[in-house]
Amino acid sequence: MKIPLLEPTRTYLACVGTSRDMARRELLVGAGAAVRKAGQALRRAAADGTLHGLEGDEFTVEGICTKDFVDWAYENGMQTVAGKRIRDALMAAPVDERCPLCWVGAVTQLDHVMPKSVFPALCVDPLNLVPACAYCNLIKGDTKPQSAEDALLHPYLDRISHTRWLHARTVWTPIGVRLEFFVAPPDSWDPTLVSRVTRQFTLLNLGTRYAQHANRTITDVNQMVTRLRVRGGANVVRNYLLGESETRFAADANSIEGVTYVTLSADDAYCHGPSATHTA
């Protein structure tokens, strides 16, 4: 995803500048310098890959308790006319409205990369607001990374979609073939990136969620595969599956459907049909 072009200070003032409570508005506008400083610190840490090193006590707003500040700036601010425009722009960014944390759920919420309960001064900073599905937002919660290896991928900053790291294997059961997904990163990745991707895969239960998606794809394609077996045998089936995978991989090197098709194409039992199928 592209980094939002929204300017953080203008975003903040748009969220707090129309409060009908004059005393509150003056207090919030006066906190603009602290919010700007917090945004600068966020961007320095993001550039250095040290978001895990940020401490919450450096991101509070003097004179306003954390709960009040978040309620006023984020909860109320994002409901204003200007705030809704900002929220809508952020929510509309992902391709096909897919959650950029799991790549499978539908975007319904904004997630705070650095939790707003710990980093209130960043609660409306566009770089800290990532569109997400409800599942990922719930599982991620309000925890902050404790180390570089512990940090989840930042959808705006971490670019791994062009490199294949998602793989699967076939598993035969009494009801047919199913897939198990796993992380197999390229050798060019450094250990920290490998740890981060593996942690995200585990924390967000991506193996199970991807398998559910893949199994639905298998059910949908089985009838076509059966016809192709009759028409031309295993090679025709394999070529069809490889063609489908290439189409998916052209848009996303880690497409769940792409991995599903290419994994099925490598399984001789699936390509040949029931007579060659394993039994559990």
- Is pLDDT at 27 greater than 90 in this prediction? yes
Instruction: Tabulate helix, strand, coil % of the chain (nearest 5).
Output: 60, 10, 35
Q: What is the average per-residue pLDDT within 8-15?
A: 94
Q: Provide the whole-model pTM.
A: 0.90
pLDDT score for 226: 94
For the chain, the average pLDDT equals 94
Q: 86 in the Ramachandran plot: left (φ > 0), alpha (ψ -120 to 50) or beta?
A: alpha
pLDDT single digits (tens) 135-166: 999 999 998 899 999 999 999 999 898 899 99
Confidence at 280, pLDDT banded by 50, 70, 90: very low
pLDDT score for 277: 46
Q: What is the average per-residue pLDDT within 239-252?
A: 96
Q: List the structure tokens of 171.
A: 């598993």
pLDDT score for 252: 93
pLDDT single digits (tens) 223-235: 999 999 999 999 9
User: How crowded is residue 31: how many other Cβ atoms within 10 Å of its Cβ?
Assistant: 22
Confidence at 275, pLDDT banded by 50, 70, 90: low
